[in-house]
Amino acid sequence: MDWQKLLVNGVLAGGLAYVVYQAYARRQSASSAPKVSKDERLRGEVRYQYSAYAESPDVACAKGAPTWGYAGMEEAKGVPLQRACGGGCPLTLASKPVTKGEVVVDLGCGAGHDAIIASRMVGKTGKVYAVDTTSDMLKVAEENATACNVPAGIIAYVHASIDGGDNGGKDAMPANVADVVISNGVFNLTVDKGAAFKTAYATLKPGGVFLLNDCCVEPTPSVNADATC
Ligand SMILES: C[S@@+](CC[C@H](N)C(=O)[O-])C[C@H]1O[C@@H](n2cnc3c(N)ncnc32)[C@H](O)[C@@H]1O
């Protein structure tokens, strides 16, 4: 028996088996990895950007966000607007003022300044639901409300995505409760705008109003996952 030949052939066969096994294992792990859709990637990117903004106000598109509608507003006194990143005050868009005892839902509350203002409008007999998909932003909103002495219990914080998705939050959206739904600079960030409008509608009581403050672009740009706003 040619032991030398046998040894060489054995090593070659072993090497080949190893290469084939590695290719098989790589294929298996690629096919078993959870597939993330483009929509979920975009939602994740939005949450990532707003978590970064919650950590540091220097990281964001929000610098110089318009504060239209807040000037001279009694309920806005002392409310920190530095973290506002919407398009001005949605509450001043109402044809009738928000009143004591009403229920307001803020879709995408961010740092929570509109929710604080709404809490002063509805008072202790009313309720404000501050909804956001980014848990870190909800924490900032809660801290701001505490700093503004909002009595406990008026604002409820809801961790949820207004346009659905797989990992947008853990709480159920309030349904059929709101006299007024507001949203300020958020719909432009949603992947499924139809779903976001359905959420606003489902949140309203019959006869409630939806006050939307947002931006849109004409013509519609191609989706750029690097854009934060
Ligand atoms: C431009 S900021 C506006 C925040 C606040 N409304 C304001 O006026 O400053 C957008 C906020 O919407 C939240 N957001 C983005 N997509 C969302 C979604 N699908 N559902 C709920 N909140 C969302 C972000 O986490 C962020 O806090």
Atom of ligand 1 nearest to the CA of 162: 20
Contact (CB, 8 A) for 213 and 187: no
Task: Give me the residue spans of the domains in the chain.
Answer: 1-33, 39-213
Query: DSSP state, 147?
Result: H
Atom of ligand 1 nearest to the CA of 114: 8
Residue 180, amino acid: V
* Best residue among 48, 70, 132 to mutate for probing ligand 1, ranked by most atoms within 8 Å of CB: 132
Cα separation, 153 vs 150, in Å, equals 9
Identify the CATH class of 39-213: alpha beta
* Best residue among 107, 142, 189, 214 to mutate for probing ligand 1, ranked by most atoms within 8 Å of CB: 189
Report pTM.
Answer: 0.83
Helices (H) and strands (E) in the chain, counts: 5, 5
Cα separation, 170 vs 74, in Å, equals 34
Query: Whose CA is closest to atom 13 on ligand 1?
Result: 108
Question: Distances in Å between the alpha carbon of 4 and those of 1, 14, 93, 221?
Answer: 9, 15, 89, 68
| pLDDT (tens place) for every residue of the chain, 229 residues total | 576 676 667 666 666 666 666 766 666 666 666 788 999 999 999 999 999 989 887 655 556 666 788 888 999 999 988 888 888 899 988 888 899 999 999 999 999 999 999 999 999 999 999 999 999 999 999 999 999 999 999 999 999 999 999 989 999 999 999 999 999 999 999 999 999 999 999 999 999 999 999 887 777 656 544 433 3
